[in-house]
Amino acid sequence: ETGVTQSPTHLIKTRGQQVTLRCSSQSGHNTVSWYQQALGQGPQFIFQYYREEENGRGNFPPRFSGLQFPNYSSELNVNALELDDSALYLCASSPQGIQQYNEQFFGPGTRLTVL
Amino acid sequence: DAKTTQPPSMDCAEGRAANLPCNHSTISGNEYVYWYRQIHSQGPQYIIHGLKNNETNEMASLIITEDRKSSTLILPHATLRDTAVYYCIARSGNTGKLIFGQGTTLQVKP
């Protein structure tokens, strides 16, 4: 069974640029959530996708957007990058939707640095 | 989702039990208590979760008080590899999001 994978591992961008981060969910999982983790802080929920639809969003501006594909993989897009967007971006997948008893399995994350 | 409170840091001797407390005094009846840990620069790792009853798996035990206002994660025989930030989360129904606090940094010492 393959776990959650994310690409790229590291990324450096400059202010104003756009970035796309990718996530492949664990086999059999149809729900993907994205989190942002600033240095020294706990992860913050960005949004979740269930069966290709956004299903819940945290306190992030519209320049953070996402997609989920029929194979349940997902992308996180961030437009007009700001310095404060520098963080570890984590993807998590879970089976069978958003039931509270389904644990989420996290990928290793993508480290984004904005200069 | 209920707020959780954890001590910022704890030490534990290798081979001894590590007991990590968590307060969640405003937890509602349908909120599960989840524990995750995060080893430096890696993604969080699921440990255990429970609603009312105590739970045990191959990694840890979760003790939830009868009034559900607090819980304790027990690592029965801590090793150096258990050094990590441990997060206690109260997760409500109908939401997929996990709300992470600052967590407890557990340092296991030889």
A60 in contact with B at a CB cutoff of 8 Å?
no
pLDDT digits (tens, 9 = 90+) for A12-57: 999 999 999 999 998 888 889 999 999 989 999 999 998 899 988 9
Interface with A, mutate which of B62, B97, B102 (most A CBs under 10 A): B97
Residue keyed to tokens 């440990």: B47
Nearest to A56 among B44, B97, B100 (CB): B97
pLDDT digits (tens, 9 = 90+) for A62-72: 999 999 999 99
For residue A86, the tally of other CB atoms under 10 A from its CB is: 17
Q: Quick one: pLDDT at residue B41?
A: 78
Q: Do B97 and A45 touch (CB under 8 A)?
A: yes
Q: Quick one: pLDDT at residue A28?
A: 82
Which residues of chain A does B85 touch, with a Cβ-Cβ cutoff of 8 Å? Answer: 42
Tell me which long-range contacts B47-55 makes (C-beta under 8 A, separation of at least 24).
B47/B73, B47/B86, B48/B73, B49/A101, B49/A103, B49/B91, B51/A101
A48 in contact with B at a CB cutoff of 8 Å?
yes
List, run by run, the mean pLDDT of 10-residue segments along chain B (110 residues): 89 97 90 92 91 94 95 97 95 75 94
Q: Do B96 and A101 touch (CB under 8 A)?
A: no
